Amino acid sequence: MGAAIAANGLSKRYRIGELQSSYGTLRESLTRVAKQIARGPHRPHHEEIWALRDVSFEVPEGQVLGVIGRNGAGKSTLLKVLTRITTPTAGRAEIRGRVGSLLEVGTGFHPELTGRENVFLNGSVLGMKRKEIARKLDEIVEFAGVQRFIDTPVKRYSSGMYVRLAFAVAAHLEPEILLVDEVLAVGDAEFQRRCLGRMQEFGQSGRTVLFVSHNMQAISRLCERTMLLGDGQIERDGRSADVVAHYLQSGQGGGSFREWTEDDPAWSDGTVELRWARVVQDGRTSETADVRRPIGIELAFDVLDDTYAVFPKIKVNSNEGEIVFNAMDTDPRWHEATPGSYLSTAWIPANLLNEGLFTVDPAVTSLGSGKLRPHAGERQAVSFHVYDPGEGDSARGNFVGGLRGTVRPLLDWTTEER
């Protein structure tokens, strides 16, 4: 058995400008060039970052390899390089076998086309032959459970149906090597379960799978081996249980539960100690949260001394690194310094956040002059995915396309006839 993937010194450099402004105008470029000429050629005119730096690894045929790491660690870039969407700046990789990727289900779906037509479109974009798709069409449609609507344009689909059909196509792709990026971020629990099941079968049938995820539970369950990326480099590579444990303990923001111990405490000025934080929905710790129900952020902490009147606070960040909001507990009980052990839960209302990954920075602070004075806290201690099952009762209604924005409140609309 040889290696299905052999990467050697893969590196990818981005110029910061490229990452930040996705497009410019010719005029901006011309003025930039003019400025450079005026300044002389010596000055470096771009800040560069290495999204991947000297990444070497081998994946034997038939292995299911997990890839984890915090946002911006280079996971997605690695997949993009391996799927040839972008070329590396240096290094090489050899890939044996047909590669299929589930970078995003539904890629290439056209809203005006019917379900059947989109199966053909999507299938051939993913690299299937027309004959192959025709042969599997019935199976795909049945798997998705959209038999009745197969000749309806997909723009009339509910988002649940849309995602199911898209996933069904991807799941029937039969590559030797499957690259999966965070498919579990979409769809309901049932869909995620099926998705995981399908990947497990892939692994068991001797195919090679590279699975990128923030879902530590899924990683530990599906992958025998896991690679931890940090700042574009391989930080750790080994048995999933070990790597995941290391990752969670190092507090790199994986998962919905974070516990701090004496060996691994959160930052503190000595007056407050954080114990643990977790994301809860419906009474359980959840990596994924239904957009239609409140999401609780629990923070357990000990107040050790009575110098400051402290109170808990959370900061919620979007996957793009924007601050979605800061929220603190304004209850009068915190007006006086009261040492003791506390468990506070901040309830994020239902139908507030948009779909996507969010990280939470919990902290315990007191009122300072002009700004909050932190006493203990950790950045990106816990994270959760918000998903919308697409049953028409969220702010999405029956719309299936992308809805931009960090928040997506379900507003009260009033309309009168004039």
Partner 1 sequence: MTETEVKARRAAERAPVAERPSRQAPTFVIRPAPRWPHLDFAELLHYRELLGTFVWRDIKVRYKQTFLGVAWALLVPVFTAAVYVVVFGKFAKFPSGLKPYPLLVFAGLLPMQCFSSALNGSSVSLVANSALVTKVYFPRVLLPLAAVLVPVVDFALGMLVLVGLMVKYRNWPKFPEFFLAPAFVLLALVTALGAGFLLSALNTRYRDVPYAIPVFMQVLPFVSAVPYALNEVPLKWQWILSINPISTVVTGWRWCVIGGAPPNPQMALLSVGVALLLLLGGLAFFRASEPRFADTI
* Site residues (vs partner 1, CB under 8 A): 10, 14, 18, 22-27, 29, 80-98, 101, 103-104, 107-108, 110, 112-113, 117, 120-121, 124-127, 129-130, 139, 142-143, 171-172, 174, 176, 194, 197-198, 201-202, 205-207
Least spacing, CB of residue 39 vs partner 1, in Å: 22
Nearer to partner 1, 146 or 376 (CB): 146
**Amino acid sitting at position 247:** Y
Q: What is the C-alpha separation between 370 and 336, in angstroms, rounded?
A: 19
Secondary structure element (H or E) that encloses residue 326, with its range: strand 323-328
Least spacing, CB of residue 343 vs partner 1, in Å: 32
CA 408 to each of CA 290, 352, 383, 386: distance values in angstroms, whole numbers, following the listed order: 13, 5, 18, 11
Task: Give the pair of three-digit tokens for residue 68.
Answer: 């984890």
Nearer to partner 1, 27 or 148 (CB): 27
Nearer to partner 1, 45 or 92 (CB): 92
On the 0-12 / 13-18 / 19+ scale of CB atoms within 10 A, 399 is middle
Task: Give the pair of three-digit tokens for residue 212.
Answer: 């990128």
Least spacing, CB of residue 200 vs partner 1, in Å: 10
Nearer to partner 1, 8 or 398 (CB): 8
- Taking each helix axis from N to C terminus, what angle separates 159-171 and 189-204, rounded to the nearest 10 degrees? 0
Least spacing, CB of residue 226 vs partner 1, in Å: 22
Q: What is the C-alpha separation between 263 and 16, in angstroms, rounded?
A: 37
Least spacing, CB of residue 93 vs partner 1, in Å: 4
Least spacing, CB of residue 406 vs partner 1, in Å: 21
* 267-268 and 177-181 beta bridge pairing: unpaired
**Residues near 231 by beta carbon (within 8 Å), at least 6 away in sequence:** 53, 73, 74
Contact 338, 303 (CB under 8 A): yes
Nearer to partner 1, 18 or 235 (CB): 18
Question: 384 forms bridges with which residues in the sheet?
Answer: 358
Nearer to partner 1, 91 or 294 (CB): 91
Q: What is the C-alpha separation between 196 and 208, in angstroms, rounded?
A: 15
Least spacing, CB of residue 103 vs partner 1, in Å: 5
Nearer to partner 1, 173 or 314 (CB): 173
